[in-house]
Structure 1
Amino acid sequence: MAGSALGISLAPYIRSSPTLTKIFTPIANWYAGGALYRQYGLLYDDLLIEERPEVQKALSRLTPRQAYDRAFRIKRASQADVLHAPLPKEQWTKPEQDIRYLLPHVIDVEAEIKERAHWDTLAVTRRK
């Protein structure tokens, strides 16, 4: 389900193998640290492209608090970017705080779109 618009993921396969998990976890942590979004106080889901209809619908399903927090993080990161300086280290997003708050909603929306497409194109035949 999540593979359609978000890309194919090897994560479930890697997580199922303790050896692969041990190998890829440091690489994943290094990559996430190098992406710099945490230094601006953002979460990974704050980087999803908002112009996609699935993401727009998922954003409308956030609680008011989640929507406010997201807007605050984006405005704070934009201000830091204008100043050409990341936030102070104590304001960086810690890896344990970087949870996927929007992805479950996006997956639900994609499943609903797929189900709607199935029912909209359903061929009805008459019994004899």
Structure 2
Amino acid sequence: MNALGPSLAPYIRSSRTLSKWVKPISVWYANLMGYRKMGLKYDDLLIEEHPDVQRALTRLTPREAYERAYRFKVASQCSVLHKPLPKEEWLASSEDVRYLKPHVLDVIKENEERAAWDEMTVQRK
């Protein structure tokens, strides 16, 4: 199993009706989770101890790495104060983009390719 786990998202996106019903629920649930109230993005919640995520983190641009570190500092300060950010500083759902997922998927793809090449056997003709 990869770092991101199985997903029903492609199936839901392929159906207009299902997408129409699930989208409001997903927005409500993401707001209910509370990570946006702390200024975090969804990809900030990925488990860093997973080797694929660790390799993906090394591929972030310096700007992305800085912004990630800043978000963690803000969230830890909110945790210490036991208060979320003021409402105007909450992360909007439009700003909650997946910045780490493409890197993780690339790492997983590279690992699968490496495994395929490692298992390859050469046969003489």
Please indicate the TM-score interval, normalised by the length of the shorter structure. Answer: over 0.9
**CA distance, structure 1, for counterparts of residue 75 and residue 95 of structure 2:** 16
List alignment gaps of at least 5 residues for structure 2: none
**CA distance, structure 2, for counterparts of residue 101 and residue 5 of structure 1:** 15
One-letter code of the match for 2:51? P
Asked if the contact 2:3–2:50 (Cα under 8 Å) also holds between the matched residues in 1, the reply is: no
Which residue of structure 2 aligns with residue 117 of structure 1? 115
List alignment gaps of at least 5 residues for structure 1: none
Which residue of structure 2 aligns with residue 18 of structure 1? 16
C-alpha deviations, 1:52-110, integer Å up to 9, x for none?
11111111100000000000000110110011000111111000000000000000000
One-letter code of the match for 2:93? P
**CA distance, structure 2, for counterparts of residue 40 and residue 59 of structure 1:** 21
What is the alpha-carbon root mean square deviation over aligned residues? 1.0
Normalised to the residue count of structure 1, the TM-score between the two structures is: 0.94
Which residue of structure 1 aligns with residue 84 of structure 2? 86
CA-CA distance at 1:7 after TM superposition = 1.6
Which residue of structure 2 aligns with residue 95 of structure 1? 93
**CA distance, structure 1, for counterparts of residue 89 and residue 51 of structure 2:** 31
Which residue of structure 1 aligns with residue 73 of structure 2? 75
**CA distance, structure 2, for counterparts of residue 87 and residue 110 of structure 1:** 35
One-letter code of the match for 2:68? R
One-letter code of the match for 2:72? I
Asked if the contact 2:13–2:19 (Cα under 8 Å) also holds between the matched residues in 1, the reply is: yes
Which portions of structure 1, spanning 4 or more consecutive aligned residues, are displaced by more than 2 angstroms?
Answer: none
* Count of matched residue positions in the alignment of Structure 1 and Structure 2: 125
SS in structure 2 of the partner of residue 58 of structure 1: helix
Q: What is the aligned-residue identity percentage?
A: 62
Which residue of structure 2 aligns with residue 6 of structure 1? 4
CA-CA distance at 1:4 after TM superposition = 3.5
**CA distance, structure 1, for counterparts of residue 58 and residue 2 of structure 2:** 21
**CA distance, structure 2, for counterparts of residue 116 and residue 46 of structure 1:** 27
Once structures 1 and 2 are overlaid, which stretch shifts more, 95-104 or 9-18?
A: 9-18
CA-CA distance at 1:5 after TM superposition = 3.3
Is residue 105 of structure 1 aligned with residue 99 of structure 2?
A: no
